[in-house]
Chain A
């Protein structure tokens, strides 16, 4: 039997050490090998895709990026790992996280439980995106784009606008443009605090709205355009959204 490739992500060195010990303890019953380790969320995203790990032991509370968000970005990989969450929270907090639908272990972890959870997770395969989104209580701090075997993270605070185009959503920062495969409606709900809808197909970062100008295109019905901070591009405001968008600027 080829050993199961396990990746360990936890910010505390003793916790990673403990998991390695436990994996060694259950080796007779369930042979494993450690495919990689990370001590925070960002590191996990950088290292996991090339580690060929089949299952990820993922701490929920990590600096930089928490475990739930890590799992959401990894879900974009074509061959993602199965995930077992690990947490020091008590049962009550676990219920609040709505983790029940996912596989999780509570610290301190017991060897038997670890073996059971690994088997169960591998059988179930990678967690579904919707399930992860449901468990997360906060909006993500990054959006991700999978490029071959690499996950590119784009900080949400750097995004100027998101525009739906055919199958994809174009994500625009001051310096770059990416295509992501997420419905605009879901993004609007998740980041309602940060973005405002200016058009049926477009969300703009509230902080990036500098002002408005009247369009001067001939032949077209006249309308308002959003003037953006740091980008020359103008985005049309639909008549339907105009009242809400204008209020935003007057508030500021």
Chain B
């Protein structure tokens, strides 16, 4: 289904891969500091070893026994290799793909050889070093090929997600109400009307922009402020936003339009349904190697039940996954009459 459509537009496809390359270095070896990659390697190697054990022995009990015996050597090898790859990840990322792949292979063999040398006493029953090396090399090659395929399979989804995102990111309701508010200012306060139109233009510029590359957190915050200015115009004192940005890492890179739709949700579900003042909090901070963003708003149960629209959140979740794989999270909870949405992602500073 999706495949035929993608084949129809090869040039677009290629340009997209290039732009991803700039941001993700997807044509370098996998990032061995990425949780998703680590988890996949651990699972794949163990599954492979278990499969080998099943094939090699006639009974289930025998297979389990054999797997456990193999694991005594396999697990230290696997973990040691991953630790070394984790430490060397920044160096590996600088190499071209084939050099990187060669380096990974060499590292894996060296580490496994060393583990075997240490683990098995000189007088012990030593398995053939050459045979183990061949098996190890085959495993590493298969894993690298799998991770590369995985990376490629996921990439076209970016353009799909983008299309979907474009349709659902700003509510028509917001656009028309905003234009209406600006119209009311044109005669009374032309200068404020001008500023409001500039803010709207800025918002839509970002909205229509290439959403495949990262943006700086500082830019995303500027966008939040422009959006808030428009809503303020419309809702007046009913909207009260507390900005907690002192610890926000302004140089962090993140996918575009991740926070704005969440603030829009907060206003739509948390301020508009109320007749009084709606307190919204925007909190962004860096905690070690992570960036945490939290947006909270008053919770209207009745409204949430009726509106029940989680499109924006699903959209953001999908894009976070495409950009950060398993390393980013979007969670929501309700506490003390407030609705909280939290985004947690790796801190990737902009390279100077």
Taking Cβ atoms with an 8 Å cutoff, the residues of A that contact B are 11-15, 17-18, 21, 39-40, 42, 61, 63-64, 88-90, 93, 106-109, 138
Contacts and interface: CB of A to CB of B under 8 A. Distances in A.
A109 B181 CA distance: 11
Contacts of A15: 177, 180-181, 184, 234
B195 to A, nearest CB: 14
B184 A21 contact: yes
B143 interface: no
A63 B233 contact: no
A17 B273 contact: no
B309 to A, nearest CB: 13
Given A14-B184, A15-B180, A108-B179, A88 B173 contact: yes
Contacts of B274: 63
Given A88-B180, A138-B306, A14 B185 contact: yes
Given A12-B180, A21-B184, A40-B275, 14 more contacts: A11-B275, A12-B235, A14-B234, A15-B180, A21-B187, A42-B275, A61-B173, A63-B273, A88-B173, A88-B176, A107-B176, A107-B180, A108-B183, A109-B180
Contacts of B235: 12
Contacts of A138: 306
B234 A108 contact: no
A14 B232 CA distance: 11
Interface string B207-246: 0000000000000000000000000011110100000000
B106 to A, nearest CB: 60
B173 A14 contact: no
A12 B177 CA distance: 9
Interface residues of B, number: 22
Contact of A89 (B173, B183, B234): B173
A12 B181 contact: yes
Contacts of A107: 176-177, 179-180
10 contacts: A12-B181, A14-B180, A14-B185, A61-B173, A61-B272, A63-B272, A90-B172, A93-B172, A106-B176, A107-B177
Interface of B: 172-173, 176-177, 179-181, 183-185, 187-188, 233-236, 238, 272-275, 306
Nearest to A141: B302
Contacts of B183: 18, 108
Contacts of A88: 172-173, 176-177, 180
Contacts of B236: 12-13
Which of A40, A61, A88 has the most CB atoms of chain B within a 10 A radius of its CB? A88
A78 to B, nearest CB: 29
Contact of A14 (B172, B233, B238, B306): B233
A85 to B, nearest CB: 14
Nearest to A42: B275
Nearest to A109: B180
Given A108-B179, A138-B306, A18 B184 contact: yes
A22 to B, nearest CB: 9
Contacts of B179: 107-108
B313 to A, nearest CB: 21
